[in-house]
Amino acid sequence: MMLINCPHCGPRAQSEFVYERTVDSVAPAGASNDEAMQILFTRSNPRGVDDEIWRHTFGCRAWMVVTRHRVTNEISQVRAVGPEALP
Amino acid sequence: MTGPSRPNSGQDISFTFDGTRYSARAGDTLAAALLANGIGLVGRSFKYHRPRGIMTAGVEEPNALVTVGEGGRAEPNTRATDVFVYDGLAAQSQNRWPNLSLDFGAILGLAAPVFSAGFYYKTFFGSAKRWMFYEHFIRKAAGLGNAPRDADPDRFSQRAAFCDVLVVGAGPAGIAAAREAADAGKRVILVEQDDILGASLIRDPQELDSAWAKESADRIRASGGHILTRTTASGYWEHDLVTLTQRLAEPGQVPANGVAQRLWHVRAGQVILATGSIERPMAFPHNDRPGVMLSQAVRTYVRRFGVCPGQRVVIATNNDDAYLTAHALKEAGAQIVAILDARPAPAGQEHGFTTFNNAHPLATKGSRHCLKSVSGIVDGIPKSWDADLLAVSGGFTPVVHLHCQAGGTLEWNDAAQAFVPGQSRQNVKTIGGAASPAPVFSAAPVVPAKKSFVDFQNDVTLADVDLAWAEGYRSVEHLKRYTTLGMATDQGKTSNMGALARLAEKQGVAIPEAGLTTFRPPYTPVTMGLFAGTAAKDAGAHKRRLALFDVHAAKNPIWQPLGYWFRPRAYPMAGESLAEAAMREARSVRTAVGMTDVSTLAKFEISGPDAVALLETVCATSVGKLAVGRGRYTFMLREDGFVFDDGTVWRIDENRYLLTSSTGGADRMATHLSYVRNYLHPELRVSVVNVQEHLAGIAIAGPKAKSVLATLTGEEPPRHMSTVGAKIAGVAVLVLAASYSGERAFEIYVDARNAEPVWAECETAVVGTGGCLYGLEAMEFLRIEKGHLVVGGEIDGRMTPLDLALDKMLNTGGGFIGAAGLTRPALSEAGRRQLVGLEAVEGSIPEGSMLVTADGKSPEGHVTASAFRIMDGGSLALGQLADGFLRHGEELIATSPTRGQKARVRVVAPHFYDSAGERYRD
């Protein structure tokens, strides 16, 4: 069970979090229908570092992007997202 | 058999084995007590039912598996070496019939060639009939203990902990490391699977002794550290989380405070593994007989438990350690008949025993209870010795499980012929014997392969490894799965290295090149109850109570689970069945008025200047043109274009909307809305509040609903799909004119804390108008007849808006989630299943039946919900049918082989009642 450093709550056990999806499966605004389907269905599935969308569901409920090595589970960055994190 | 140094506690305790009463000394393991009572035969092997005794003195024991305890407390496959005797312990041998000594299944041993490696696979490849014939016998014959039938009466708890240093293993290295960390002011947890610390110091006295172990433990505790005995570090997970399984009672024992075991989640700053090593057996024919034991185990029984497992002993070794056993046995008064040392002279000669070099064992003879003689080869010449104990030492396998689970690599130590920890991935280091095992002689002796067991628990011999190789299994992972090597409760702790060496020999490569199977948690078996912890039985999923639960309960309804909730299914009157009550309630709605609790519906309040933008992203229908005070039906798509939920959206105020959706999908919808709002569109000026449990909901439906509502509110009720605020019983409510039943209907939403007076006033008005309460079953009848959809039934995640005939409602402006997915060509191809109605021509349409053109044909669709016409009688249903829109009028068979029911049906439009929607209008 990983230890994830919630940007709002600090380090918490993985069991408090829910994985949503990988960032590169989300089509950017303005993508064409074909591009959107390509992004949704054809994943890069890297053996290495990946940006993932997680939610601190059983904590503060905030969303975040976790940069995780998918082999070693090393987490190099956790970034807050949402209205509060806008510049 | 009792040796001279058996400690006398003065207090003997008694236990039973297969019903016979024996005595033991406090501190004995069951294995030690059995040996002390002269019991050699303890179990029957997994496949061949060969007689087996005690081989080890630790958790690696492959043979001596017994069931300990009775009733729901019984623990099958307990290692006799890993349970400490308590007064009244009851142990049973396993996998034998009618009894351990006279075992019918041993005949299988005679048929051993049939049960060789890959037996199951070969049987599966044969005709299915063959397997059907064998299966019954195989399941009976091959096996371990039986799971108890009763529920475990004890509790299992879970606990989380943090520490600076976690030390696994309280041998001399582990104790010293924990003591050093404690002295340095670190928060320390020291865990030991045995019930005492420093047990190996009793086996092998050195400068450090038990007194030092005790003094160290006192120091660790004094500085705030924790020491957990009977606790196994069973798994090493990400980010230095280690799970510990702690026994608070022995297997089968009544726990002092009701808690049998505890599961710890320990997040450690650093982990020190002092897990030691496990001695390896040697492979030679009949090496599995009772009376053949591992050398260190023999020493443990002699020195720690004061039990000498034999009086005339042959020792076979490839290393120096076994000579310590020879000395221990000699001190205990046993005779060392011969030592067969695989190493060339003069290895071992200095100890002064009858030592033969270049020697190894070749066979054993004896009865099913004991050993009588050992034969071997010395410098190529066969020899034989009378003996009642053969102690073997084939070298030492470091316990690297946790290191590997943490992601660490292994290195090959050629002198020890063993894998040792290499690079660590997490903050973990390995010390002591696990890091530097004793050197051994590397050359494997040549022995016949048949009946030379490598995996005792799975009955895998060298011949099986050879057969797997001959049949083309090259990878160690394939070897494992084909032969079942290294599986079952011991997970190959004593066997993997022996088999790996044989595979490497066959491949003609060095052992490290042959590869290794993966070490997975848990290290030793963990009771399932421990994972469940307090979430066992009814506590597995939480239950939510309706705000009006007590009001319903007072009416003694039939309850139905719905998501986390329980809702009334029907309110039967005296003598009524469920079906009768539901039909009466539904008729009341069709002819007069009925009311029901709809509080569980998902509800979200969405407000702010960008509320429409958010709604038009989530909903596939247009929302922007909705006037204040109006509402409409809506549905939501996944990104791939399939419908996943539906509901209604209401414009309460200029920038304020109420969105409802299905009960079962409430959590999913809450997450979806949060994701869209926070991740996809953080820039929107909108707030989404989940008001599912904040608002209680009451639906009033029927031709008299309008007059009832007018009485309740004193105002003109809103027209269909309109909403107004009002007061009932002096409480502010929101009235939505929406209909699921097909009648003129209203949903009344009220702050859940004030729901009771509103419900009471509504009930008085409804009943006073000749109506009644209705439950989920009546609601189902009503909505099926009307052709309204339900999430999880018609909306099953595989239907597009086109398939459900909802496509005309799609927002032509696009921009909603799923719009891109809908453009995929496959979603508009012919042959897709489409929503249809089904009318019975003959018989009653079975729930969940499939739709076929004739018996024996492939299904072309299925029934999603079936019911009866409420006023006229007759069976009808909703369903999904390939190209269903084009098949109205066609006759099909709705068949349910599992229920043994079928009906002839006609395909019709999915609206059986008021298809023009006239009953909504005033």
**Structure tokens given for B374:** 């050992």
Partner-chain residue, chosen from A3, A31, A82, that has the shortest CB–CB distance to B239: A3
Burial B655-671 (b: 16+ CB within 10 A, else e): bebbbbbbbbbbebbbe
pLDDT confidence of B804, banded at 50, 70, 90?
Answer: very high
- Cα–Cα distance, B805 to B809 (Å, whole number): 9
Q: Which residues of A are less than 8 Å from B827 in CB distance?
A: none
Q: What integer is the mean pLDDT of B556-568?
A: 92
Structural Rg of chain A based on CA atoms: 14
Residues from chain B that touch A79, judged by Cβ atoms under 8 A, are none
Tens digits of per-residue pLDDT, B656-706? Answer: 999 999 999 999 999 999 999 999 999 999 999 999 999 999 999 999 999
Kindly determine whether residue A82 and residue B678, on different chains, have CB atoms separated by under 8 Å. yes
- Closest residue of chain A to B671, computed from CA coordinates: A57
* pLDDT category of residue B574 using cuts at 50, 70 and 90: very high
pLDDT in tens, B816-857: 999 999 999 999 999 999 999 999 999 999 999 999 999 999
Give residue-wise pLDDT tens across range A10-66: 999 999 999 999 999 999 988 999 999 999 999 888 999 999 999 999 999 999 999
- The reply to whether CATH 3.50.50.60 applies to domain B160-281+394-443 is yes
| Cβ atoms within 10 Å of A47's Cβ, excluding its own | 8
Residue of B237, B238, B640 with shortest CB distance to A40: B640
Question: What value does the mean pLDDT take over residues B88-93?
Answer: 96
The H-or-E segment that residue B259 falls in is: strand B259-273
The answer to whether the CB of A20 falls within 8 A of the CB of A53 is yes
Q: What is the mean pLDDT of residues B8-30?
A: 89
Tokens of B823: 């453009």
Please write the tens of the pLDDT for every residue from B344-370. 999 999 999 999 999 999 999 999 889
Interface of A with B (CB under 8 A): 1-3, 13-14, 18, 20, 26-27, 31-33, 36-37, 40, 53, 55, 57, 61-63, 72-73, 81-83, 85-86
**Which residues in chain B are contacts of A66 at CB distance < 8 A?**
none
Closest approach of chain A CAs to the CA of B241, in angstroms?
7
| pLDDT value, residue B106 | 72
Predicted local confidence at residue B111, as pLDDT: 58
User: Which chain B residue has its CA at the smallest distance from A21's CA?
Assistant: B675
- Pick from B237, B671, B683: CB nearest A1: B237
pLDDT band at B10 (very low <50, low <70, confident <90, very high): low
| CA separation for the pair A65, A55 (Å, rounded) | 9
CA A26 to chain B, closest CA, distance in angstroms equals: 9
* B820·A72 Cβ contact <8 A: no
B682 and A82 within 8 Å at the Cβ level: the answer is yes
Of A37, A57, A86, the CB nearest to B824: A37
Q: Given this model, what pLDDT does residue B493 score?
A: 94
Nearest-CA distance A49 → chain B (Å): 16
Q: DSSP characters for B392-458?
A: EE--EEE--HHHHHTT--EEEETTTTEEEE-S-SSSEEE-GGGTSPPP---PPPP--STTBEEETTT
Answer whether A13 sits within 8 Å of B265, measured CB to CB. Answer: yes
Domain with CATH 3.50.50.60 in chain B: 160-281+394-443, 292-302+310-392
Hey, which CATH number is domain B444-526, 1.10.10.1100, 2.40.240.10, 1.10.10.410, 3.30.565.10? 1.10.10.1100
pLDDT for the residue numbered B544: 87
Taking 50 as the threshold, does the pLDDT of residue B4 lie above it?
A: no
**What is the CATH code of the structural domain delimited by B1-141?**
3.10.20.440
Q: Considering the domain delimited by B602-691+799-822, tell me its CATH architecture.
A: 2-Layer Sandwich (3.30)
**Which chain A residues are Cβ-neighbours of B690 within 8 angstroms?**
none
- Parts of chain B belonging to CATH 1.10.10.1100: 444-526
Measured between beta carbons, the chain A residues lying within 8 angstroms of B265 are 1, 13
**Distance between CA atoms of residues B73 and B150, nearest Å:** 8
Q: In residues, how long is chain A?
A: 87
CATH superfamily of B292-302+310-392: FAD/NAD(P)-binding domain (3.50.50.60)
Contact (CB, 8 A) for B606 and B615: yes
- Reported as a single tens digit per residue, the pLDDT across B706-726 is 999 999 999 999 999 999 999
pLDDT top residue among B444 and B532: B532
Please check whether residue B252 is in contact with residue B75, taking contact to mean a CB–CB distance below 8 angstroms. Answer: yes
Start-end ranges of CATH 3.10.20.440 in chain B? 1-141
pLDDT of residue B2: 39
Which of B679, B686, B687, B824 should be substituted to probe chain A, the one whose Cβ sees the most A Cβ atoms within 10 Å?
A: B679
Q: Which residue has the tokens 């903050």?
A: B427
**Bridge partners, residue B699, by sequence:** B596, B747
Instruction: Please enumerate in sequence order all residues whose Cβ is within 8 A of that of A38, keeping only pairs 6 or more positions apart, or say none.
Output: none
A interface test, pick of B639, B822, B823 with most A CB neighbours within 10 Å: B639
Q: Report the b/e string of A2-32 with b at 16+ CB within 10 A.
A: bbbebbeeeebbbebbeebebeebbbeeeee
Largest CA distance in chain A: 40
- What does the pLDDT average to over B624-646? 97
Architecture of domain B830-921: Beta Barrel (2.40)
Torsion of CA B265, B268, B274, B280, to 10 degrees: 40
pLDDT at B123 over 70: no
**Tokens linked to B388:** 């009642």
Q: What is the pLDDT of residue B555?
A: 96
Q: Do A57 and B671 count as a contact with CB atoms less than 8 A apart?
A: yes
Whether A3 sits inside 8 A of B680 (CB atoms) is no
Interface test with A, best of B674, B683, B690 (most A CBs within 10 A): B674
**B21 Cβ partners below 8 Å, 6+ apart?**
B14, B15
Q: How far is B180 from chain A (nearest CA, A)?
A: 27
Write out chain A residues lying below 8 Å of B425, CB-based.
Answer: 72
- Closest residue to A83, CB basis, from B239, B265, B678: B678
Chain A CA closest to residue B237: A1
pLDDT for res B454: 95
Write the pLDDT tens digit of every residue in B485-511.
998 889 999 999 999 999 999 989 999
Residue B321 has pLDDT above 70, yes or no: yes
Would you state the pLDDT for residue B207? 86
- The pLDDT score that the predictor gives to residue B12 is 82
Q: Which domains does chain A have, with CATH numbers?
A: 3-25+40-85 (3.30.2270.10)
Q: How far apart are CA B397 and CA B888, in angstroms?
A: 72
Contact B265 A1 (CB under 8 A): yes
Closest chain A CA to residue B424: A72
pLDDT at residue B112, as a whole number: 60
Q: Tens of pLDDT along B434-479? A: 999 999 998 888 899 999 999 999 999 999 999 999 999 988 999 9
Find out whether B75 and B132 touch, Cβ atoms under 8 Å: no
Nearest chain A alpha carbon to B241: A1
Inform me whether the pLDDT recorded for B378 exceeds 60. Answer: yes
| Tens digit of each residue's pLDDT (9 = 90 or more) over B49-88 | 899 999 999 999 999 999 999 999 999 999 999 999 999 9
**Chain A to chain B, count of Cβ pairs less than 8 Å apart?**
67
* pLDDT value at B120 more than 70: no
Give the integer Cα–Cα distance in Å for B743 and B916.
12
Contacts with A55 from chain B: Cβ below 8 Å: 671, 674-675
C-alpha to C-alpha distance for B155 and B177, rounded to whole angstroms: 34
pLDDT at B186: 98
Read off the pLDDT of residues B98-117 as tens digits, 9 standing for 90 and up: 788 877 777 666 656 566 77
Question: In angstroms, what separates the C-alpha of A21 from chain B's closest C-alpha?
Answer: 11
Chain B contact set for A16 (CB, 8 A): none
What is the amino acid identity at position A9?
Answer: C
Closest residue on chain B to A52 (Cα): B679
Please report, as a single letter, which amino acid is at residue A58: F
**Among chain B residues, CA nearest to A71:** B407
Residues from chain A that touch B609, judged by Cβ atoms under 8 A, are none
Give the residue range(s) of CATH 3.30.70.1400 domains in chain B: 602-691+799-822
Range list for CATH 2.40.30.110 in chain B = 830-921
* Nearest chain A alpha carbon to B267: A3
What H or E segment, with its residue span, contains residue B896? Answer: strand B891-896
β-strands B396-398, B410-413: how paired? unpaired
Instruction: Give the CATH class of B582-600+694-797.
Output: alpha beta
Contacts of A33 in chain B (CB under 8 A): 819-820, 823
Residue A57 corresponds to which tokens in the numbers above?
Answer: 């569901």
Contact B820 A20 (CB under 8 A): no
Inform me whether the pLDDT recorded for B601 exceeds 90.
yes
> Cβ–Cβ of B823/A33 closer than 8 Å?
yes
Please compute the mean of the pLDDT values over residues B776-804 and round it to a whole number.
Answer: 97
A30, two tokens:
């303005």
pLDDT tens figures, B153-210 = 999 999 999 999 999 999 999 999 999 999 999 999 999 999 999 999 999 988 888 8
On the question of pLDDT at B228 being above 60, the answer is yes
Average pLDDT over all residues of chain B: 93
- Kindly state the DSSP code that residue B630 receives in the 8-state scheme: B
Instruction: Tell me where in chain B the CATH 3.30.1360.120 domain(s) lie.
Output: 582-600+694-797
**In contact, B166 and B266? CB cutoff 8 Å:** yes
Q: Find the residue in A nearest to B243 (Cα).
A: A1
Cα–Cα distance between B805 and B878 in angstroms, integer?
A: 13
- Evaluated on CA atoms B671, B676, B679, B684, the torsion sign reads negative
Report how far residue B859's alpha carbon sits from residue B893's, in angstroms, rounded to the nearest whole number.
Answer: 10
* CB–CB contact A13 B682 (8 Å): no
What does the alpha-carbon distance between residue B805 and residue B837 come to, in Å, rounded to a whole number?
Answer: 12
